[in-house]
Structure 1
Amino acid sequence: MKHAVLDVDGATCTSCVYTIEHVGSKLKGVHECFVDRNTSQIQLDYDGNPETLERIIELVDRIGYTAVINQADQPVS
């Protein structure tokens, strides 16, 4: 299992947070999806498959928000 931090834009209310967490946690490969409104971030525990990250980002975009991988969370090459 891997952990990722996504920066999310537009999730400013309780309903926004609930929607992202509820839909995100049902996505195959996602073990836990937590949105912190104060930091505008999604904390994600997932199966480590890069496609899972792509799917969660696409899902967040489809429901009306924008998510990107937090630059500080990306490995240094």
Structure 2
Amino acid sequence: MKKATIQLEALACPSCVQKIEQATKSLAGVEKESVKVLFNASKVKFDFDAEKTSVEDVEKAITALGYVVIKSQVKDK
């Protein structure tokens, strides 16, 4: 398992958090219980299985919703 943090542009509303959370949780390989969208920090944190998905896949899912990804960081758990 790997741990990822994705920095986004400032989030405008609490419903943004729910949309991003749902999109992230819907991807295979993402540990659903680990997904946290931090509204004030505009960050998404989650654990994922690198054999099933990649941080790029999660970035694509978030950008497809119209949010801008600034940077991502991945660490071994």
Q: Same fold (TM over 0.5)?
A: yes
Q: Percent identity?
A: 28
CA distance change for structure 1 residues 5 and 50 in 2, over 3 Å: closer, same or farther? Answer: farther
RMSD: 2.1
SS in 1 for 2:36: strand
Structure-1 residue corresponding to 2:57: 55
Residue 26 of structure 1: CA displacement? 1.0
Gaps of at least 5 residues in structure 1 are: none
Decide whether the 8 Å contact of 1:20 with 1:60 is kept in 2: yes
Task: Give the TM-score normalised by structure 2.
Answer: 0.79
Higher relative CO (CA 8 A, sep ≥ 6), structure 1 or 2? 2
Structure-1 residue corresponding to 2:68: 66
Gaps of at least 5 residues in structure 2 are: none
Runs of 4+ in 1 over 4 A off after TM superposition: none
CA distance in structure 1 between the aligned counterparts of 2:62 and 2:10, rounded to whole angstroms: 10
Task: Give the TM-score normalised by structure 1.
Answer: 0.79
